[in-house]
Structure 1
Amino acid sequence: MEVPLLVTDFLDRARKYYGDEEAIVATTGERFTYEEFGDRADRVSAALAERGIEKGDRVAVLDPNTHYQLEAAYGIMQIGAVHTPLNYRLTPEDYVYLLNDADVKAIYADYEYAEKIEEVREEVPTETFITNDTDAVSGDWEDFDELLAETEPNYERPEMTEDEIITINYTSGTTGDPKGVMRTHRTESLHAQLVTIHHEITDDDVYLWTLPMFHVNGWGHIYAITGIGAKHVCTRGVDPEGVFEAINGEDVSFLCCAPTVLSMLGEHYENNDVSTEGENPMRVTAAGAAAPESVIEMVEEEFGWHFRQLYGATETGPLISTSATRRLIDEDSEERFALKKRQGIAPLGTQVEVVDEDGTEVPWDDDTIGEILVRGNQVMEGYWEKPDETDEAFSGRREDWFHTGDLATVNENGMVAIKDRDKDIIISGGENISSIELEDTLFDHEAVGDVAVIPSPSEEWGETPKAFVVPANGDPENPPVSEEELTKFTRDRLANYKVVRRVEFVEELPKTATGKIQKFELREEEWEDEEEMVGQG
């Protein structure tokens, strides 16, 4: 029997079996059962339909991790409209591009960010504007709660097929204009099932939202947590004190985040007397970058949480691989932290291979470097109205495989370890140097709070490693370590050709909303006086 896979099934299931169970703990202090959650989503669907939104129309959501975003997402998708979540850390000019690129017909924007949309209102095609606090926003906006109160939860759900586009997720735009990643009911549904399996999500989980919901639909957790009948604990951003309070007060069992969030939590833990768990044991998944081993050790040894690494991309839902491989990691071994930071193995129904320039899989020797390619049901349909970029993403070393641009090795058990982005490999004097290896080494120094390593122009070697370091004391003018000391620190631990030759202390590193360091900004500044942004080493 073939039954279409639809994202609306997730909330439908939760309402049917968990209707009276608590679904959402809101940032406002309100609590909603799954039946109440579903009723509010129905009213969103009805209100949008009354305002002319039809199947296939794009509706944007600009919101931190509140209950409004969850209700808006399902309300949009239940009428077959295309859920288009936006990064709330962008500029008004960025929204002009995104809203026009997707030809967005309606938008819900949280009061804290609606003013950015109001500023460019005349430059976008959007006609319906909804917020959750009209008193805090200038211009003509409808109030979300008032709109729900005056709308009956009656709407006509259109016939939908699993191959239709139901959400567009925009990439971070780290190498140019953001691209709209088109995802179908099928890709979202199967990805959410993979997340549920490999994150071991169960109906008694309490999930804390620290990962942005806009980012690939919160890595699919707006579906997975909902469909399994677990509980959402919402936030308005990452506040370490608030995170620990929520973990204890709501007995949180699971969260996902970037490694930088774990570092923030670690700093707060060291300086305050806090409990790291409530009644439930805690587990955490990190992604966006490989967490330093010292951070993983802190999470497991000090916090008492179970750590796993996720590797992915917006184009893949994002799950490509995970280090959640209990039989391949000896929890009593000294190398367990090194293994847990690896990007890991492919989930069910997914092919992940590391291949050389000819498209041949590299040996599992943990030495030979190749590019990570992916095939799976969770991989995107393509880029919105960008056929050339879509073709490019699925061609190169192998046709019809998604090319990640990430360079990696594979160990004897098939566990992938990223060595660099293709463009981030430093080629110095003909030798390939992994910026990630250098960053991991520098992270081991107690005076280093954050770090990014890029190639810097060198007349002698073509390019040489340079580290941008955020000192642990947060003061780049008076760091607790010198450039010479950090150079020596790397020389004592690495081959001579890998040594960091240059160090610049900075107050912060440029990052995306999900914690990825935007190295291209550092490279552009570093190479602005050069004819091309690559050395000849």
Structure 2
Amino acid sequence: MHKPLLVTDFLDRARDHYGDQEAIVATTGERYTYDEFGERADRLSSALADRGIEKGDRVAVLDPNTHYQLIAAYGIMQLGAVHTPLNYRLTPDDYEYILNDAGVDAVIADYEYAEKIEAVRDSVSTEVFISNDTDATEGDWEDFDEVIRSADADDYERPPMDEGEVITINYTSGTTGDPKGVMRTHRTETLHAYLITVHQEIRDDDVYLWTLPMFHVNGWGHIYAITGMGAKHVCARGVNAAEIFDVVVEEDVSYLCGAPTVLNLLIDYYEETDPETEGDNEVRIATAGSAPPEATIRTVEDEFGWYLKHVYGATETGPLITTSDARRLLPEGEERFALKKRQGIPYLGTEVAVVDEDGDEVPRDNASLGEIVVRGNQVMEGYWEKPEATEAAFSERREGWYHTGDLAVVDEHGMVSIQDRKKDIIISGGENISSIEIEDTLFEHDAVSDVAVIPAPSERWGETPKAFVVPASGDPEDPGVTEQEIREFTEEHMASYKAVKRVEFVEDLPSTATGKIQKYELREREWEDEDRMVGQG
């Protein structure tokens, strides 16, 4: 038989079987059971319906990782309206573009970020504005708690829904132009949630700490998977190393996610203060965004005692499509770290290939470079009202496969290892150099806290590797190491032509809300006086 795959099923299941179990630990101290979570979602559905929101309307949510975000997501989707989470690190101009591009009908915003919406309110067609703290929000906003308190939980009807209908739009970061709205259907969201439930080993007794932004592809699908399994959400407004360790112990957290930059924050704090790293539960952590250095994996596993899962994907792919958590393929001892930093093998039901310019798969020789392309049930429907961009994303090298723009090699087991983005490959004197390889080497240096390597102009070679280094001292004026020592360190540990030639110490690196370093900002600054960028892809 055929049963439609609907995202509303996740909360329905939790309410049916785990109604009296704790569902959410809020940032404000409240604790909600699944019955209480569900009732609040019902009340919001009713309130939105009273305000004219119907199936297919877009409702944006601008919120850090609070219980309001979870309630809003399900309250919106139960109406068949399109949940449109927003990155809280954007500018008012960004929000003006997105609200108009998506034709957003209502906005639910956290008090800390509502002013950015208020600044462009007269430039958008949005009519409903709800904040979680109107006393701290300027302008004419309705109060979230009052809105749901005055609504009748039974006073709304779910419309008929089909698994092929768009239920959420996730906007990309816009690193190569205006942000694009990635359309995801009930079916793509549901199947992706099933996949992460299996590969991330999510159980009903898990306690999940929200350090990963919920807006980012719906928290990598965890707003569905954690809920559907009847596990516990522990909310957090931001990333603070001391608070993370405290909450892990106090709430017996068993699972969390964090980009390598988050891991670095935790490691720095751990080395300074030696906190407790576990409560009553063993801890596993998923990381993605960029390959974590072997030294980082080693510290997390051997010193924290946490089990690390390195996963990979993109907003357009669900996001998660591969994992290095292939335990039968991992060797014992120190050698496992080299394999765990690879992006790994595909998730169940997912086809991942590394192809050359003709669309043919490259040899599994761990040396031949190609682009990662993917197809699977979790891949996006397309970009919102951008058919040409959608066509380009699925057609360049292999028709019908999403093209990630990531260049990789493949080993004999089919484990993928990204070497660079197409535009991040450094071509120096005709030689291709992986910035990731240089970064991984520099992470082994005790004086390096974080680093990004990009191609810099060179009259002799066309391009040469330059490293932007965040020193462990935290002070770029007193980094505790010289530029010459950094250069010599790379010369000692890798082929001479790959060694970094230029070094700049910086206080921090530009990054997205999920911790992914935005190298394009560094490249633009470095190449602003040049006519073109060699090998930019």
TM-score tier, shorter chain, comes to: over 0.9
1:473-505 deviations in Å (ceiling 9; x for gaps): 111111111111111101111111101001111
Equivalent-residue separation in structure 2 for 1:497 and 1:2 (angstroms): 58
Indicate yes or no: 2:138 matched with 1:138.
yes
Indicate yes or no: 2:14 matched with 1:5.
no
Equivalent-residue separation in structure 2 for 1:162 and 1:7 (angstroms): 9
Say which SS state the counterpart of residue 408 (structure 1) adopts. strand
Q: Residues 423, 536 of structure 1: CA spacing in aligned structure 2 closer, same or farther, 3 A cutoff?
A: closer
1:45-94 deviations in Å (ceiling 9; x for gaps): 00000000010000000000000000000000000000000000111111
What letter is aligned with 2:165?
E
- The TM-score normalised by the length of structure 1 is 0.99
What letter is aligned with 1:427?
I
Partner of 1:505: 505
Say which SS state the counterpart of residue 212 (structure 1) adopts. coil
Indicate yes or no: 2:377 matched with 1:377.
yes
* 5+ long unaligned stretches in structure 2: none
Contact 2:467-2:500 within 8 A present in 1 as well: yes
Q: What pairs with 1:248-267 in structure 2 (closer than 5 Å)?
A: 248-267=249-268
Deviation at 1:334, TM superposition (A): 2.3
Equivalent-residue separation in structure 2 for 1:274 and 1:467 (angstroms): 32
Partner of 1:477: 477
1:455-476 deviations in Å (ceiling 9; x for gaps): 1111111111111111111111
Q: What pairs with 1:126-165 in structure 2 (closer than 5 Å)?
A: 126-154=126-154, 155-165=156-166
Equivalent-residue separation in structure 2 for 1:472 and 1:334 (angstroms): 24
What letter is aligned with 2:292?
A
Partner of 1:35: 35
Contact 1:183-1:381 within 8 A present in 2 as well: yes
Equivalent-residue separation in structure 2 for 1:172 and 1:445 (angstroms): 31
Equivalent-residue separation in structure 2 for 1:216 and 1:229 (angstroms): 20
Partner of 2:240: 239
Partner of 2:304: 303
What letter is aligned with 1:343?
Q
Deviation at 1:409, TM superposition (A): 0.6
Equivalent-residue separation in structure 2 for 1:506 and 1:374 (angstroms): 36
Say which SS state the counterpart of residue 159 (structure 1) adopts. coil
Partner of 1:291: 292
Equivalent-residue separation in structure 2 for 1:135 and 1:536 (angstroms): 49
Contact 1:118-1:138 within 8 A present in 2 as well: yes
Say which SS state the counterpart of residue 112 (structure 2) adopts. coil
Equivalent-residue separation in structure 1 for 2:471 and 2:245 (angstroms): 25
Stretches (4+) displaced over 2 A:
533-537
Contact 1:199-1:324 within 8 A present in 2 as well: no
Contact 2:423-2:536 within 8 A present in 1 as well: no
Partner of 2:206: 205
Contact 2:425-2:536 within 8 A present in 1 as well: no
Deviation at 1:173, TM superposition (A): 1.2
Contact 2:423-2:535 within 8 A present in 1 as well: no
Deviation at 1:533, TM superposition (A): 2.4
The alignment covers a number of residue pairs equal to 536
Partner of 2:454: 454
Equivalent-residue separation in structure 2 for 1:174 and 1:224 (angstroms): 29
CA RMSD of aligned residues (A): 1.0
Q: What pairs with 1:341-380 in structure 2 (closer than 5 Å)?
A: 341-380=341-380
Say which SS state the counterpart of residue 236 (structure 1) adopts. coil
Deviation at 1:534, TM superposition (A): 2.5
- The TM-score normalised by the length of structure 2 is 0.99
Contact 1:458-1:535 within 8 A present in 2 as well: no
Say which SS state the counterpart of residue 197 (structure 1) adopts. helix
Partner of 1:114: 114
Say which SS state the counterpart of residue 453 (structure 1) adopts. strand
What letter is aligned with 1:274?
P
Contact 1:462-1:536 within 8 A present in 2 as well: no
Deviates more, 1:411-420 or 1:210-219: 411-420
Equivalent-residue separation in structure 2 for 1:200 and 1:172 (angstroms): 29
Say which SS state the counterpart of residue 300 (structure 1) adopts. helix
Indicate yes or no: 2:186 matched with 1:192.
no
Equivalent-residue separation in structure 1 for 2:277 and 2:187 (angstroms): 37
Contact 1:524-1:533 within 8 A present in 2 as well: no
Partner of 1:495: 495
1:332-365 deviations in Å (ceiling 9; x for gaps): 2321011111100001110001111111111111
Partner of 1:433: 433
Deviation at 1:536, TM superposition (A): 9.8
Equivalent-residue separation in structure 2 for 1:257 and 1:124 (angstroms): 34
